Structure 1
Amino acid sequence: MSSPVTFTAAGTAPPSAGAPASLQHAVLELLEPPAGGGTGQPGRAVLDIIEFQFNPKELSLTKNAKWKREAQRNARKSGPPEFTGSDPSKLSLEMFFDATDSMDEKVVKAVEKLFSCCVPTEKSRQDKKGSPPWVVFRWGGLTSFPAYVSSVTAKYTLFTPSGTPVRALCTVTLEEISGEQSGQNPTSGSVAARDIHVVVAGDTLASVAFRAYGDPALWRRIAQASNIDDPMRLRPGTRLLIPAPDEPGGPHGQ
């Protein structure tokens, strides 16, 4: 039984200082998989953030359930269905990249970064438990379930005279990581909800921590989650990951 749901969004305005969440660009957040390649909590290390150049117009969410019916002898109707399991949720979306303004290799590098999601992380290979990065789609207040990238299809549609692709349309499919997850919204199954704050002029880690947690002393939590090495050099436009209070690394986490 298939239950596809398509979310349509108009509005692809670029993020601006103080812009509401609905105007922020969508991102794919790449996390280190759990030690040993299990299905528990993802690693705390954020491997990378892939930002959408243009927000998606549609999100296609699919969920399949498995049922069986026992044959009913001499019955005019079939027996009631019995639930036998559920397939992982799948989220399909498109990412459009364009470099016609610079005519450089920006599109090629963006596609290569997506392809890198389909191979085990370096740490998991070293641990001999090859696992792909965990991926979470985030767009303002919308947070997807923890997933891995099961497929990426890139279609190059424009090239420079020298043959360098400068425009591409990528179809990306995210497949839910198996295991029970607690959700926060219809597309969610996030282990712990996070927020993303875009730094504006005058922001400091302490001020962001005060707004997020009510305690400026918790700025190190944000610095660690966002891989900030030098808290004194916080540039406007930087995306900070704000761990949820109950997340490991959050103010109430263990």
Structure 2
Amino acid sequence: MMEIKHVSYIYDKGLPFGTRALNDISMTIEEGAFIGITGKTGSGKSTLIRIMASLLEPTSGQLVIGEGKKVGLAFQFPEHQLFEETVLKDVMFGPRNLGLSDAKDRAIEALKTVGLDDSFLERSPFALSGGEQRMVAIAGVLAMDPDILILDEPTVGLDKAGHDLVMSILGKLNDEGRTIVLVSHEIEDILDNCKEMVLLSDGCIQDSGEPMEVLKRHLEIAPKRMVLVSELKRSGFDVDYSMDIEALALAIAAQLS
């Protein structure tokens, strides 16, 4: 479990150009949660997850992480951090530098988890496609076996196949009991995959809860299909927010006939 208690953060505190990035944030992340965090650029998302990963110390407030729990963070475009001559060495880097005797086994297992088999082990990470590099970078975090995995826009820049693979992997990891914190502007991903959603605005939690319920209250950021459902309901159609476009079309046709 992770608990964030009244956390605030000010960049360049005490200077004339100091900027308050977070203001009195409180939230609890239970074991096995799959939480999506979203908000406009500058809303405080990146600052919040850096505090969660203990890369920043709050200006005020407290971060409490369950005893013995490890936190892993994959930054946006994590493939930019690749540097070793082979995929295996890159993924092994973290556990090897902690002196873990099973570093190689951890790396191979992590690569398998992200869909990269043994044929990738001795390849240069710089000879891979962008999507494959992303998987190698995520595997590097997984090799550390974090209890809480935080990802900052993990699908940005990927094609549909790469996007779908990343989301599938995150779903599988969560099904296996891993806690996932996903920062994303892709509202569809949060709606379709996350159990809870946190909406940030100007460094504050504007709303939180089950994604569908949060988005009903904030249709300005909701997927177009939810906006369509809202308009149809207003026009008297018996439709539901859980319907996809095909189901909506069938419902409209049936009610018009």
Q: So what's the TM-score if we normalise by structure 1?
A: 0.27
The structure with the greater share of residues assigned to strand is 1
* Greater relative CO, 1 or 2 (CA 8 Å, sep 6+): 2
